[in-house]
Every structure is written in structure tokens, then in C-alpha cells.
Amino acid sequence: MDAEPYHADPSLKGKLRRRLVRLQHRRPAGPRLGAPLVSFSFDDAPVSAFTTGARVLERHGARGTYFVCAGTAGQAGFVGQLGDRADILHAQANGHEVACHTYSHLDFGRADTAAATNDLDRNTATLEAWGVARPKTFAYPYGDVRPRAKRVLADRFTLARALHPGVIEGGVDLAQAPAVGVEGEDGEARALHWMDQAVRRKAWLILFTHGVEDEPTRYGCTTSVFERLVAEAVARDFEIVTVAEGARRMKVAA
């Protein structure tokens, strides 16, 4: 995590690039699913995501996905105190997915391709040295990317997750997949709205948050909201899958 404001390049150039890159290097998902899927993911992965978040999911027999930056693990971030190596290994041992969020929380909308590639290599190497399996999926810090770096990611990961809201169904780009944030005061309502969409369209919804705690940061959600959303997913017969498992089900269309 860096000291910059927690958002993508706000310039006009940045906005235009974000529109154009979504049309390039696409990996369209295969046909729609028979039943809706939902994934619960945690970006940066604060300690509370590894403790409270995991506990809530495990109580329902479910597992989550932790998008981690090895370079910031164990540090204090503005999304909360981040989980360290032990937290990450503990999650993996309990069947959760440990996934890639760059090494240094690098903004792929601003970094050049060489810097982006080096950063990915470093995250993978560090995680592997820690005993973490090679990540299969990725989440873009700030949701942003340049076209050439997107192509690198599309070749390395089965799915790269962005931050624009939506559900995943046939034709949706798995190299820049939509996700819905459970953050802030309207996080729960937004998640429920998109769960409705996923049920109606027999689609896959990826939810993300950061910390799960009684007094969350503006990027996290409360324990009770998280509990209600997981219970709602179970009640509505969603299958709760890790992001890697969801990507496997939505095989890239030929």
C-alpha cells in the first residue's frame, strides 16, 4: 500500500484509458451457469479478514479468496492492520484461496509493463518462498490497468478482477472481471442488489471488501453485515466458491 489516495488515476487520460482497455485483450467467459455462484473476497487482506471473515465463511462450510501483496503483509495500512505470513499460511491451510494483488500494491494503470511484470514475479516468488501455492487469480489494485500489462495478466492468471460492478456470465471478460464492493454505508444494499441480479441471470457474483470488524474503515464492512450476506447467500441457494473455482467453472469461451 502506498501513501497515494486510494483511487485510480483521476486524469482525463486515465479515464479514457480505463474505457479503452476494457475492449482489449479480452478473455470472454463461457456460457452461463446452471445455478448462481458467489465469491467473497478480501483485498489487501487485513487481519480481521483472516480472523472474523474466515470464521463467518467457515461456519457455513464456505471459503474465501484473499488478494494479498507480500510486500505489505504485516504492515499497518489505511484499510487496517494487514495480515502477515502466518495469517496467509493459516488461511491456505484451512482451504481458502490465496491470490495475487501485486507485491507492492502497484497501480497497473500507471506502471509500465516491465515494472508490472517484475512486481508480479516478486510477489509470486515471495509467496512461494513462504510456502504459498502459486496464485491462480489476481485483483488489480485501484481496479486499473494498461493494455499491455492486461495481456501479461491474462496469460498468467485464470481471472483478473477489477472494481467495476457487475455479474459474470457468458461473454464477460475474465481478464478484467467485474466485482461489487461491500464497503461503506450502502455496501450491504449494493451487495443484495447484485445478488438479485446473479440469481435472475444464473450468473457469478464476486463480492469484495477489506476488513471485517465491528468498527470498519470506510473500505471494510461490519461483522454483522458480513454475517448477513453470507447467510443470505446460503438461504438463496448460491454456491459459495473461491474466485479460482468460479473461474474454473466459467471456462474461457473458445
Interface ranges with Zn ion (CB under 5 A): 43-44, 141
CA dihedral (251, 145, 101, 82) in degrees, to 10, reads -140
Least Å distance, CB 73 to Zn ion, is 12
For the chain, strand residue ranges (E) read 37-43, 65-68, 76-77, 80-81, 97-100, 137-139, 159-161, 180-181, 204-209, 239-240
Least Å distance, CB 36 to Zn ion, is 26
Which CB sits closer to Zn ion, 43 or 144? 43
Least Å distance, CB 219 to Zn ion, is 9
Which CB sits closer to Zn ion, 62 or 100? 100
d(CA 203, CA 197): 8
Contact 74, 45 (CB under 8 A): no
Which CB sits closer to Zn ion, 141 or 187? 141
Which CB sits closer to Zn ion, 44 or 119? 44
Contact 182, 218 (CB under 8 A): no
Least Å distance, CB 141 to Zn ion, is 5
Q: Which three cell numbers stand for residue 250?
A: 466459467
